[in-house]
Amino acid sequence: MLWIPINRALDIPLNKQVYQQIREKILNGTLQGGERLASTRKLCSELSVSRNVILEAYDQLIAEGFIVSYRGSGTFVADGALLTQSNKVVLKNRTEEKKEEMKIDFRSGIPALSLFPRKTWAKLSHRIWNDTNPTLFGYDLPEGRYELRDVLANYLLRTRGVECHPEQIVITSGATQALTIIARLLLSANDIAIMEDPITNDIQTIFTSSGASIYAIPVDQSGMRTSLLPHNQQPKFVFITPSHQFPLGGTLPIQRRIQLINYARQKQCYLVEDDYDSEFRYEGPPVNSLQGLDPNRVLYVGSFSKILSPALRIGYLVLPIDLVEKCRQLKWFSDLHTPSVEQLILAHFIKEGYLERHIAKMKKYYKNNRDFLIDCLHTTFSNRIKILGFSTGLHLVVEIQNINFSRALLDKIEHFGVKVYPVEDHSISKGNHNNRIILGFGHLKKDEIQEGVTRLFQAVFPK
């Protein structure tokens, strides 16, 4: 008798249950090649199900080659259907894992997601889904919708001093794709890319994955130390975050910007400017982009992940004219194009003034959070700390005297229910930032900020 338990309480149809269990027994060798199976009449009687249930299960198994049926002889397990079992990897449910941890996470670069302008976005979305031309729902241009590129060119000129024509813009699926395209566009094995040190670890990985090498230049309170640019190297580009250096937060002054432009001209290379959160500047007037100084030398990268939401997956590249066509080709072979409907919604969101109003609102909110975090840090840690990079963006850096944020200490901090991020993880030359951590504040509520700082102190300075 073939033991196949049937559970009528399951949502799985009975024929599917029979099929799955026989299939599994054949794959794992319980039923072997050439072994005869019970007839459909006998099996339906043994399992107390209709004959159609067994017929449908057998038909599926025959169609997939697990069994063969010979008129007048019976039904047999097919040869060659045994699958040697490998060790199965059990993956944890990351969502459930995060729920269980319930940590106060000071991750940088996350906006206040609860304040996303849902009603406005939904209104524009409803209008576009109902009123737009049906061609919107077909394949689109790799460089993105002209409507978005047009309003974006005007917006960037007005707010960031970026000089470009809409044809120089390629819409990407976030800044990460833009940077990946740059790596494919400009880098090959054994090439050199100059980068700030420290700089986002993910960006280092994107560029080195092409086989290129990184030439690291340290930063100070004013960003990249451009006096250290190498004259004995021939880099493909220099990567910088001039408006708000990540992670240390410096703003590159005009003298260093001019040094970079002159260096790029001399070396016949490009500058890659990542302008990742410059909209949120709290101290002094807005700082114009580097791109505006020499549009023919600078590739400008931006996204809406921190301004609006990472879920939109909309970023963009502003390119020198001679790189546009090749970039469009790379984008096409990457994913054809970024989703068109979201692009059109965003175009109207910018054109009708909603984006700038949202930025103004969020700037006040983030400044309030930033000031509260700074107050909590000074009150709790007193004169043991130095705070860096707080003039712009959604994070700041805390330097704690005589503390080494080793793996053991970071694990201890997590045990206290707090997640912090060491600057050292983003260092290219190791050992210079062991006493510094990055604290993001954009997505946290004030009670979470206060509790997180308290727990951090208790972990670092136990009684």
pLDDT digits (tens, 9 = 90+) for 39-60: 989 988 888 899 999 999 999 9
At residue 94 the predicted structure's pLDDT band, cuts being 50, 70 and 90, is low
Q: 14-77 domain in CATH 1.10.150.120?
A: no
**Where, residue-wise, is CATH 3.40.640.10 in the chain?**
116-356
pLDDT at 100: 46
pLDDT > 50? residue 116: yes
pLDDT > 60? residue 101: no
**Where, residue-wise, is CATH 3.90.1150.10 in the chain?**
98-112+358-460
What is the mean pLDDT of the segment spanning 112-119? 97
pLDDT > 80? residue 97: no
Cβ contacts of residue 249 below 8 Å, gap of 6+? 388, 389, 390, 391, 392, 393, 395, 396, 397
Determine contact, residues 193/207, Cβ cutoff 8 Å. Answer: yes
Q: Give first-to-last CA distance, the chain, whole Å.
A: 69
**Where, residue-wise, is CATH 1.10.10.10 in the chain?**
14-77
C-alpha 332/C-alpha 336 separation (Å) is 4
At residue 81 the predicted structure's pLDDT band, cuts being 50, 70 and 90, is confident
What is the residue whose two structure tokens read 């979470």?
A: 448
129 DSSP 8-state letter: H
pLDDT at 90: 60
CB atoms within 10 A of CB 129: 13
Interhelix angle 324-335/174-186, nearest 10 degrees? 120
CATH class, domain 116-356, is alpha beta
Report in angstroms the alpha-carbon separations of 343 from 277, 310, 382.
20, 14, 47
CB atoms within 10 A of CB 209: 12
C-alpha 186/C-alpha 228 separation (Å) is 23
Instruction: Name the pTM for this structure.
Output: 0.85
At residue 206 the predicted structure's pLDDT band, cuts being 50, 70 and 90, is very high
- Over the chain, what is the mean pLDDT? 93
pLDDT tens digits, one per residue of 212-238: 999 999 999 999 999 999 999 999 999
pLDDT at 47: 87
Determine contact, residues 21/37, Cβ cutoff 8 Å. Answer: no
In 158-221, where do the E strands start and end? 169-172, 192-197, 213-220
pLDDT tens digits, one per residue of 162-195: 999 999 999 999 999 999 999 999 999 999 999 9
C-alpha 240/C-alpha 252 separation (Å) is 9
pLDDT at 93: 64
pLDDT at 86: 63
Determine contact, residues 166/281, Cβ cutoff 8 Å. Answer: no
> Which option is the CATH number for 98-112+358-460: 3.90.1150.10, 3.40.50.2300, 1.10.10.10, 3.40.50.300?
3.90.1150.10
